Amino acid sequence: PSVIYLKDYQVPPFLIESTQLRFELEDDRTLVKAELRLTRNPECQVKPRGLLMHGDESLRLCRLAVDGQVLTAKDYSIDAGTLTIAEVPDQFILESVVEIDPAKNTALEGLYLSDGVYCTQCEAEGFRRITYYLDRPDVMSVFTTTVVADKARFPVLLSNGNPVAEGDDSDGRHWVTWEDPFPKPAYLFALVAGDLKHIEDTFTTASGKQVALRLFAEEKDLDKLDHAMTSLKASMRWDEQVYGREYDLEIYMIVAVDFFNMGAMENKGLNVFNTSCVLASQKTTTDAGFQRVEAVVAHEYFHNWSGNRVTCRDWFQLSLKEGFTVFRDAEFSADMNSRTVKRVEDVQLLRTAQFSEDAGPMAHPVRPASFIEISNFYTMTVYEKGAEVVRMIHTLLGPDQFRAGSDLYFERHDGQAVTTDDFVAAMEAASGRDLTQFKRWYSQAGTPVLDITDEYDPSESVYRLRVKQSCPPTPEASEKAPFHIPLQVGLLSPEGTDMPLENGATTVTLELTESEQTFTFTGIPQKPVPSLLRGFSAPVKLNYAYSQAELVFLMQHDSDGFNRWEAAQKLGVIILQALIADYQAGRELILSDALVGAYRAVLNDTTLDPAMVAKVLTLPSQAYLGELSTQIDVDAIHAAREFAMNALACALEAEFSQAYKRCLIDVAYQPSAEQVAQRMLKNLCLSYLLRAGKPEYLALAQQQFSDADNMTDEQAALALVVHSNYQDAAPAMLSQFYSRWSQESLVVNSWLAVQASNPCPGALSQVEALMQHEAFNMKNPNKVRSLIGAFCGQNPVNFHAKDGSGYRFLADQVVALNELNPQIASRLVAPLTKWKRYDETRQQLMRDQLQRIMDSAELSRDVYEVVSKSI
């Protein structure tokens, strides 16, 4: 497979002014007729005689004509992935008819069938599986699409834009024509046909335009669409208020499908969603699920501007739309719920999943410089780190200048396909700031490390922070130039109050630009405790030698909510790292009083947000502790955490029990921030209580399981018991849960995931057995993620079993999936690629399995790229 480089970018020689498509959906094939108005691109220097189009090998060409003249085999050539017409005029109509087979499409890219519903996924390069085309984002065209199908079985026929005509044919078939007036790249094309039902609402935009909102699903799921509708309307209002962006078509549609490679897709006017990101109901969906629906609905809606109206020039610019849109959806969620909780959750994800990507063989900059398969670059780095980069611009510019920059960006580039440089240029122009050095965040991979020391001079009342920045080597570069890093800082007095700094502000943004810098604070009357990297103002690792006492102090007094949580995490890290070392050395494990005392104080403080109490009382995760280790000792980390949690449970049993009772809710269920917080703390308390060693707490969990009127409480009780020492109680609860929910596919997914992530011995054979269960389907990505993905990603102790059984299992599944669905196969393989982080025996076992995959027949580009780069 060949490597594609950003530096080789060239403007397209041809443009497509208009695209007319006609889909005839038949049982054993689909006919796709395309009529494209092509013209030479005036901006292209070269004038090739011929035309090169993208088209997957699976297309069966039936007819090809230029300006009505049918071409014969001598006029064109077809090879793997392209069709070349030897000679074309400057402006012409290209007609083609191809035959495709959606029913056989298990890759779920292009046009495929999801449980009897036709749907499409074209980003990034799926459109070339539908017809021959210039399938690149800088070719934007106006689309008119007619869909023809059997009326009884496919009553609903949808595509992008507004419906303009429809009719019935005499043979029981019908058709609908859709017109999308906004030029778009082919990756935003969508088509849906099926027996779907919908709910409907309207939205009136700020300028008074009426928009019809229609959400489609199978009839049995129609009662699970209200939350998505509420979220959609809230997103539309928020984008008007915060970014001044209005919706632009007469109709906005969302369709829920069960077979989908990722969360959702922002096709113009016709989003296609994984059911897991759009359906929600009290009985079947957890609070986290509700929040995910809200966030993903918003994310896809926000793409209408950041992605669709202004799109990417090429796929190296993917973060232009994804980083910005993730930042936008994160701010939306923060406004709708608790800002601090949202920030904590995002940082947890970034510091585990993204930092480990940045430290692994697939590390790449936010704007990658090369790729083999673009599908492999829909990553935590492009999305989440990309969002952090936009957040840093927001921090450096402040909200008003950032908004001015965003306005200018949309004004300058509406209807264009542009680059991350264009985005930054708009921010620079609107603010007058020079972001030249800042742009290194787009081109250099790796997680910067800040080493900070300080000194206080009482005679001069001066406090100094010395900051060194460095960045480890990554595959694209071993030497890194210094980053421009906004470091938000506050100083706490010994009484725990914020000291006034510049102009009386209590938080200042230090701008790091050099590898070593000293920042001096004058007029500091006493030695302060620094609160560093407030709000996690940059995606970096920070080292500062806090004492345990200082961390407890910050937990109690820091005015920055994020850093109060961070202090608890840091305290947890220090204590757990000591326990890990004790475990490794065979010493007795003893829990520090400091942690018990700090936890007790937080648990007894009823003025705190219960969600933040729950976050603070959750020890650093296995994944985060692994990420912080030079060599990951899975068993020691697990043992240390288990010991600490058990000891905390015994020491604070009474407090946990009281807090559990305080959090019981006696009013009707709402997925509101307030109730979500109470359930979160309640279930955290239950998790500790189950470790206190008293059967009465098992009874409490079982009672919560049977009495729950919502999925959050029901599922928490199930997972906690299944993962606990009460192994005898688990099977009955699991089978009760399954028989209750066997008809709810999404709930069954959580049932699979609870078993797959069970740290108790025997999880692998359980997973293998479940692969034969009626509930499992290797062709459905949600099932694969819930079972195989959860075992390999969320069950470190079992996945990393010393006999290599977990690794062998994963390699088997990757080989099987490589044929069915390369994108899913390639995502799944990630845990094996991190082999360098483990002990020598495991390293060898993991590499053996990577090699086995490598040696297996016919690797897809997706799997080939990831495996070859990590061996």
358 contact, one of ligand B3K, Zn ion, none, CB 5-8 Å limit per kind: none
31 contact, one of Zn ion, ligand B3K, none, CB 5-8 Å limit per kind: none
Among 138, 266, 498, 566, binds ligand B3K (CB under 6 A): 266
How far apart are the C-alpha atoms of 68 and 70, rounded to whole Å?
Answer: 6
In sequence order, the 6+-apart residues with CB closer than 8 A to the CB of 753 are 786, 787, 790, 794
In sequence order, the 6+-apart residues with CB closer than 8 A to the CB of 780 are 258, 259
CB of 324 to ligand B3K, least distance (A): 11
- Count of other CB atoms within 10 angstroms of residue 257: 26
Nearer to ligand B3K, 254 or 614 (CB): 254
How far apart are the C-alpha atoms of 860 and 865, rounded to whole Å?
Answer: 8
In angstroms, the first-to-last Cα distance of the chain is 16
CB of 124 to ligand B3K, least distance (A): 5
375 contact, one of Zn ion, ligand B3K, none, CB 5-8 Å limit per kind: ligand B3K
Interacting residues with ligand B3K between 339 and 398 (CB under 6 A): 375, 378
CB of 370 to ligand B3K, least distance (A): 18
CB of 378 to ligand B3K, least distance (A): 5
Nearer to ligand B3K, 262 or 334 (CB): 262
Interacting residues with ligand B3K between 311 and 330 (CB under 6 A): 322
- Binding pattern for the stretch 108-137 against ligand B3K, x by CB under 6 A and - elsewhere: ---------------xx-------------
Cα dihedral sign, 855-858-863-865: positive
DSSP 172: S
29 and 107 Cβ atoms separated by less than 8 Å: no
123 contact, one of ligand B3K, Zn ion, none, CB 5-8 Å limit per kind: ligand B3K
124 contact, one of Zn ion, ligand B3K, none, CB 5-8 Å limit per kind: ligand B3K
DSSP 307: T
Nearer to Zn ion, 187 or 697 (CB): 187
Among 97, 199, 242, 262, binds ligand B3K (CB under 6 A): 262
Token pair for 535: 């709000």
Nearer to ligand B3K, 95 or 862 (CB): 862
**Interface with ligand B3K: number of residues (CB under 6 A):** 12
How far apart are the C-alpha atoms of 291 and 231, rounded to whole Å?
Answer: 9
Q: Which of 100, 126, 257 is nearest to 188 (CA)?
A: 126
Nearer to Zn ion, 300 or 428 (CB): 300
How far apart are the C-alpha atoms of 420 and 62, rounded to whole Å?
Answer: 40
Nearer to Zn ion, 325 or 618 (CB): 325
CB of 138 to Zn ion, least distance (A): 18
CB of 206 to Zn ion, least distance (A): 24
Segment interacting with ligand B3K (CB under 6 A) among 74-82, 299-307, 755-763, 845-853: 299-307
How far apart are the C-alpha atoms of 858 and 864, rounded to whole Å?
Answer: 9
314 contact, one of ligand B3K, Zn ion, none, CB 5-8 Å limit per kind: none
Does position 301 interact with ligand B3K (CB under 6 A)? The reply is no
Nearer to ligand B3K, 299 or 800 (CB): 299
Does position 558 interact with ligand B3K (CB under 6 A)? The reply is no
Alpha carbon separation from 281 to 289, 367, 682, 733 (Å, rounded): 9, 38, 21, 22
CB of 308 to Zn ion, least distance (A): 11
Segment interacting with ligand B3K (CB under 6 A) among 141-149, 165-173, 298-306, 852-860: 298-306
Nearer to Zn ion, 417 or 684 (CB): 417
- Count of other CB atoms within 10 angstroms of residue 627: 20
Segment interacting with ligand B3K (CB under 6 A) among 112-120, 262-270, 355-363, 386-394: 262-270
Nearer to ligand B3K, 127 or 688 (CB): 127
Q: Which of 19, 20, 217 is nearest to 119 (CA)?
A: 217
Nearer to Zn ion, 306 or 745 (CB): 306
Phi, psi of 180 (to 5 degrees): -110, 110
- Count of other CB atoms within 10 angstroms of residue 805: 15
How far apart are the C-alpha atoms of 115 and 221, rounded to whole Å?
Answer: 14
How far apart are the C-alpha atoms of 31 and 149, rounded to whole Å?
Answer: 11
Is 345 labeled as catalytic in the residue annotation? no
Does position 300 interact with ligand B3K (CB under 6 A)? The reply is yes
**Closest CB to ligand B3K: residue number:** 123
CB of 360 to ligand B3K, least distance (A): 20
CB of 299 to Zn ion, least distance (A): 6
How far apart are the C-alpha atoms of 800 and 831, rounded to whole Å?
Answer: 10
Nearer to Zn ion, 308 or 469 (CB): 308
Interacting residues with ligand B3K between 133 and 192 (CB under 6 A): none
Q: Strands of 51-54's sheet, edge to edge?
A: 51-54, 82-85, 76-79
Interacting residues with ligand B3K between 773 and 792 (CB under 6 A): none
How far apart are the C-alpha atoms of 530 and 525, rounded to whole Å?
Answer: 14
Q: Which of 76, 81, 130, 78 is nearest to 102 (CA)?
A: 130
CB of 123 to ligand B3K, least distance (A): 4
Q: Which of 222, 321, 260 is nearest to 107 (CA)?
A: 260
Give residues in contact with Zn ion (CB under 5 A). 322, 325
How far apart are the C-alpha atoms of 758 and 53, rounded to whole Å?
Answer: 49
Segment interacting with ligand B3K (CB under 6 A) among 259-267, 421-429, 772-780, 838-846: 259-267
Alpha carbon separation from 321 to 336, 351, 620 (Å, rounded): 22, 22, 32
474 contact, one of Zn ion, ligand B3K, none, CB 5-8 Å limit per kind: none
571 and 551 Cβ atoms separated by less than 8 Å: yes
Give me the catalytic one of 294, 300, 331, 653: 300
CB of 47 to ligand B3K, least distance (A): 33
Segment interacting with ligand B3K (CB under 6 A) among 177-185, 258-266, 494-502, 593-601: 258-266
For 256-304, the DSSP string reads EES--SSSEE--TTEEEEEGGGT---TTT--HHHHHHHHHHHHHHHHTT
Which runs of consecutive H residues, i.e. helices, occur in 3-86? Answer: none
829 and 793 Cβ atoms separated by less than 8 Å: no
Segment interacting with ligand B3K (CB under 6 A) among 163-171, 257-265, 398-406, 801-809: 257-265
- Count of other CB atoms within 10 angstroms of residue 782: 21
Segment interacting with ligand B3K (CB under 6 A) among 65-73, 220-228, 296-304, 552-560: 296-304
756 and 794 Cβ atoms separated by less than 8 Å: yes
Token pair for 69: 């003249």
CB of 266 to ligand B3K, least distance (A): 5
Nearer to ligand B3K, 176 or 418 (CB): 418
Whether a cis peptide bond, with omega within 30° of 0, leads into 659 is no
Does position 299 interact with ligand B3K (CB under 6 A)? The reply is yes
221 contact, one of ligand B3K, Zn ion, none, CB 5-8 Å limit per kind: none
CB of 446 to Zn ion, least distance (A): 24
Nearer to Zn ion, 307 or 561 (CB): 307
How far apart are the C-alpha atoms of 395 and 351, rounded to whole Å?
Answer: 20
487 and 392 Cβ atoms separated by less than 8 Å: no
How far apart are the C-alpha atoms of 276 and 293, rounded to whole Å?
Answer: 8
Residues forming the site for ligand B3K (CB under 6 A): 123-124, 262, 264-266, 299-300, 303, 322, 375, 378
Please give the positions annotated as active site: 300
